[in-house]
Amino acid sequence: MTADEYFYDPDETNRKRELACGILREPPAPFYSHQRLSLRVARLIADHVEPRQLGEVVTAPIDVVLDYDRALIVQPDVLFIAADRLSIVNRQVWGAPDLAVEILSSATAAYERLDKYGWYREYGVREYWIVDPFTESVVVCDFTGSEPARRAFSGTDAIRSTVIPDFNTAVAALFL
């Protein structure tokens, strides 16, 4: 499927779906626990970002067009776009968000740890959080340096972000 076909599909949907280099992926709706955790992550980030006017936080489903020509369109569970980069938003997000967050499920863990990690790094996402509800941990993949850095947080560890200044929330707060 091309990006044109994806965007102009007569069977438009609000379901989460992605176009992975021309292959349409339409996973089943997430479980309640996934959506609850996704909302919690988004709320904690937004509660920090919005009063400081750092940018905007949105949740899936929202198309993020990483590469129109390669038909690569993803839908992170949560994303943050810094205030000075909001020009990439025009109905969809046309380019890499500053932060992409994925909540793992047993069905998507490998895809999100491998494929999405590679795409986010290649296409300029500055930071990628992998939230693992099974281990109640967060891996922060920082792509802002010359080499990617991975930091793992769990329990009372405060999640540290390169792209969200002064963000300081314990991992345990996500899993209440």
Side-by-side strand order, sheet with 18-20:
23-25, 18-20, 72-74, 64-67, 92-94, 89-90
- Kindly state the helix (H) or strand (E) to which residue 73 belongs, with its residue range: strand 72-74
* DSSP-derived pairing of the beta strands 137-142 and 89-90: unpaired
Amino acid letter for position 117: Y
Q: Are 65 and 96 in contact (CB under 8 A)?
A: no
Question: For every one of its 176 residues, what pLDDT tens digit does the chain have, with 9 covering 90 and above?
Answer: 899 888 887 666 667 788 898 888 888 788 999 999 999 999 999 999 999 999 999 999 999 999 999 999 999 999 999 999 999 999 999 999 999 999 998 888 888 899 999 999 999 999 999 999 999 999 999 999 999 999 999 999 999 999 999 999 999 999 98
C-alpha distances in angstroms, 34 versus 41, 133, 135, 148?
11, 8, 14, 27
The reported pLDDT for the residue numbered 8 is: 82
The reported pLDDT for the residue numbered 13 is: 64
* DSSP-derived pairing of the beta strands 78-82 and 169-170: unpaired
Complete domains list, the chain, with CATH: 31-62+75-175 (3.90.1570.10)
Question: Each residue of 149-159: b (16+ CB within 10 Å) or e?
Answer: eeeebeeeeeb
The reported pLDDT for the residue numbered 122 is: 96
